[in-house]
Amino acid sequence: MTSPLTFFQLPFLMVFFLFPLLISPAAAAATAATVAPKRHPHFQHINVTETIASTRIQQPSQTTSQETKIPTAAANSGQDKIKLNLLHRETTPFLQFQPSHDYRHRFSARMHRDATTVAYLTRRLNHSDRMAAKYEVEDLGADVVSGMEQGSGEYFVRIGVGSPPKDQYMVIDSGSDIVWVQCQPCRLCYRQSDPVFDPASSASFAGVSCSSTVCDRLQNTGCHSGRCRYEVQYGDGSYTKGTLAIETLTFGDVTVQNVAIGCGHTNRGLFVGASGLLGLGGGSMSFIGQMGGQTGGAFSYCLVSRGNTGSTGSLEFGRGSLPVGAAWVPLLRNSHAPSFYYIGLSGLGVGSVRVPIPEDSFKLTESGLGGVVMDTGTAVTRLPLRAYVAFRDAFVSQTQNLPRLSSGVSIFDTCYDLKEFVTVRVPTVSFYFTGGAILTLPARNFLIPVDGWGTFCFAFAPSSSELSIIGNIQQEGIQISVDGANGFVGFGPNVC
């Protein structure tokens, strides 16, 4: 076989295993030690047989993890950081809360949630739309509510709330600015896997008065019997309302006192069994914002969801979590949307080709439109239509030897039937960042299985606006670090 559809060939196999991720740091932007720039390979291999097998993994039974295998915070190797295990929803014990369909159904449900999330983000980040700021529950259409039934949240951590600490699963979200848990007494609580937190049984719980400075920092504040109220609504129709409190949180063996958390007495949605949400956004009320002084606004995470390795991802806080040797890209702030982490993207590459896309396709304008957001809650990377079309066409033209389906699947328009193949050779896909860093994605981050029978799709989609979003499928397996104090986002150097 001499065509690009290579079957088992040793040299390619070695490339596949040795270089799952390649990063070129920009000479100018790198602040720490750097890795030597590497030549980028123009092709990678996907083990089709193995990838298809991984879609058929038996879901963990309810009994496996409940007692023994629930990963809590991992050991902390240094005092300047907190390290937690990060679980994808499909690897959590919450499966009992989800319909246990096959891979294709779960994948299609994930894409449905994704469309809902992106529609909401697009609207929220459309600053010419004044109504977007006033997002009311009544505004949500049927589509949005059906998204809610799927449950919010893609990635979870387990932390202790109160004193003595009660362990709770929390959704993490890079675009949210509040930490909250469902609280007793519940006026309305959705089903969660741990007992609902009861402030009466926590010695460290303290309410916040309406006149306190921390109450001032909240949007949507009001007073209820002298207590500071909070209210948050999410794109899928989920919401939480209650009172603000000061509480102690425990991350493994690290205790953090005086964290402002929402104590939610009225909560609607289905956070896949989690007790609440740990907001990691760039605003002052997120966990990152509140820890500002202690952690320097620094955190690092690694998302893992697929495969049968049994490995978990990780989430670390503190300057000690910032890796040496990452490729650092300037972090951009949008004053209209301080929660979000934007980065500068200048172009895209496929194989040896830099796709001809005008650089301003990815520009964040003065008025806060467009730009490129890093989001843990979005699965598939969205690109402005013209950029997407050029990018996809470049990929299609370099995969002429693969059998392409005549129609799309779900949100994807470029899919292939690979069931006859053991491995396939595909062109690499790269992000060219402002400042010169280049991130070449592992093949599993851009050609993904959409069913259990060998259909794979090019995992990008067009945006309905000028907004680009880098989604979690593209972020998977790459260590991503945010150095908020110095204004950089780091990629690599570790694969995970």
Catalytic residues: 173, 375
Q: Which amino acid, one-letter code, is at 316? A: E
Instruction: Report, in Å, the least distance between residue 16 CB and ligand NAG.
Output: 7
C-alpha to C-alpha distances, 138 to 134, 135, 416, 474, nearest whole angstrom: 11, 9, 41, 34
Member of 38, 96, 129, 401 binding ligand NAG (CB under 6 A): 129
Residue type at position 457? C
> Of 24, 34, 44, 47, which lies in the binding site for ligand NAG, with binding defined by CB under 6 A?
47
15 binding ligand NAG? (CB under 6 A): no
DSSP 338-383: TT-EEE-EEEEEETTEEP---GGGGPBPTTS-B-EEE-SS--SEEE
Task: Find the part of the chain contacting ligand NAG (CB under 6 A) among 101-109, 121-129, 149-157, 470-478.
Answer: 121-129
Tell me if 143 contacts ligand NAG by CB under 6 A: no
Number of shown-chain residues binding ligand NAG (CB under 6 A): 13
Cα 218 vs. chain centroid, distance in angstroms?
24
Q: Which is nearer to ligand NAG, 122 or 428 (CB)?
A: 122
Q: Which stretch binds ligand NAG (CB under 6 A): 125-133, 256-264, 306-314, 473-481?
A: 125-133
Q: What is the dihedral of CA 396, 399, 404, 409, to 10 degrees?
A: -60
> Rule CB under 6 A: is residue 346 a binding residue for ligand NAG?
no
Question: Is 170 in a helix, a strand, or coil?
Answer: strand
The correct pick among 465, 486, 494, 495 for binding ligand NAG (CB under 6 A) is 465
Which residue number, 12 or 65, has a Cβ lying nearer to ligand NAG? 12
How far is Cα 172 from Cα 313, in angstroms, rounded to an integer?
A: 12
Let me know if 384 is exposed, middle or buried by CB neighbors in 10 A (0-12, 13-18, 19+): buried
Contact 323, 31 (CB under 8 A): no
Write the CA distances from 370 to 132, 231, 431, 467, integer angstroms: 15, 27, 17, 4
Stretch that binds ligand NAG, among 30-38, 45-53, 238-246, 302-310 (CB under 6 A): 45-53
CA distance 374 to 366: 19
Instruction: Say which residue the tokens 């879901």 belong to.
Output: 59
Q: How far is the CB of 140 from ligand NAG (least distance, A)?
A: 16
For residue 366, count CB atoms less than 10 angstroms from its CB and return exposed for 0-12, middle for 13-18, buried for 19 or more.
exposed
Stretch that binds ligand NAG, among 29-37, 72-80, 126-134, 345-353 (CB under 6 A): 126-134
Q: If binding is defined by CB under 6 A, does position 133 make contact with ligand NAG?
A: no
- The verdict on 423 binding ligand NAG (CB under 6 A) reads yes
284 binds ligand NAG (CB under 6 A): no
| Nearest approach, Cβ of residue 346 and ligand NAG (Å) | 23
Q: Which stretch binds ligand NAG (CB under 6 A): 122-130, 163-171, 230-238, 273-281?
A: 122-130
Does position 139 interact with ligand NAG (CB under 6 A)? The reply is no
Nearer to ligand NAG, 47 or 414 (CB): 47
Neighbours of 396 (CB within 10 A): 15
| Cα–Cα distance, 468 to 434 (Å, whole number) | 15
Site for ligand NAG in 363-422 (CB under 6 A): 422
Residue 55 near ligand NAG by CB under 6 A: no
Query: Is 486 near ligand NAG (CB under 6 A)?
Result: no
Write down the least CB distance from residue 17 to ligand NAG, Å.
8
Place of tokens 């990629």: 491
In the complex with ligand NAG, the residue whose CB is nearer, 118 or 254, is 118
Residues making contact with ligand NAG (CB under 6 A)? 8, 13, 47, 49-50, 122, 126, 128-129, 422-423, 464-465
